[in-house]
Amino acid sequence: MRSHYQSADSNYPPEIQEFLQKYDRILLDSKGILKLQPAEFYHSLDNTDLRVWCICRAIYQLPTIELIEWLKDNFNLDKAIEIGAGNNYLYHHLGIKGVDNYSEQIPKVKLTHDLLNQPSTNPPSEVEKLDAIAAIKKYQPETVITSWMTLKCEDPEGIDAGHKYAPDEEEILDTGVTYIHIANESIHGDREIMNKPHEKYYFDWLVSRGKYPEKNCIYVWQVES
């Protein structure tokens, strides 16, 4: 089994490659797709090891059975898309369209990530290359889902970390969709969009690469009736 995640493994020392391949066998199926697991399974693993594997594989949020069921039970996914789909395979397990603007593959952005020893997302081929607003115009969804969406802002002078390519979340809300952001409060909780009415949910079945798992949460901006 060799997945699209493994293309840069030769950059790691042999012991790290062995570690990554061990977790690949545990967490990926025969096609290299993230398996859908219950949160209890992830909780049984060493959390530091799991975080390291996620970082090396450019994975931010891990889909769990509970997350998939909660989304299906609470939202209309017949008209839903995932934006910023990245490497997480959430769209795959939800059975919805996944799109990404592939901004982390822009050479200057990728170089910045490389200098920070932070691998860049390189979405699988079934993720359509499309930015968020273009995807909303094309697919006319009622629900837009994302996880760990990059904040749109200006990077420091001389650095291109990709923030300017991120979607404008207020512009997403202005399209009239229900917007769901699966996030970690310690990282995503201080952006301007939080000033708009929304709900916030904490569940112990949310699993991410965040340093503070108790801060994993879901933000929901509902369509105003």
In the chain, where are the structural domains located? 4-221
pLDDT at 8: 63
Q: How sure is the predictor about 154, in pLDDT bands with cuts at 50, 70 and 90? A: confident
pLDDT value at residue 7: 55
> What's the rounded mean pLDDT across residues 51-68?
96
Mean pLDDT of all residues belonging to the chain: 91
**Quick count: other Cβ atoms within 10 Å of Cβ 220?**
17
What pLDDT, on a 0 to 100 scale, did the predictor assign at position 12? 80
- Each residue's pLDDT tens digit, 3-26: 555 556 767 889 999 999 999 999
Q: What gap in Å lies between CA 97 and CA 207, rounded to an integer?
A: 22
178-224 pLDDT, tens digit each: 999 999 999 999 999 999 999 999 999 999 999 999 999 999 999 76
Average pLDDT of the segment spanning 121-150:
96
61: left (phi over 0), alpha (psi -120 to 50) or beta: beta
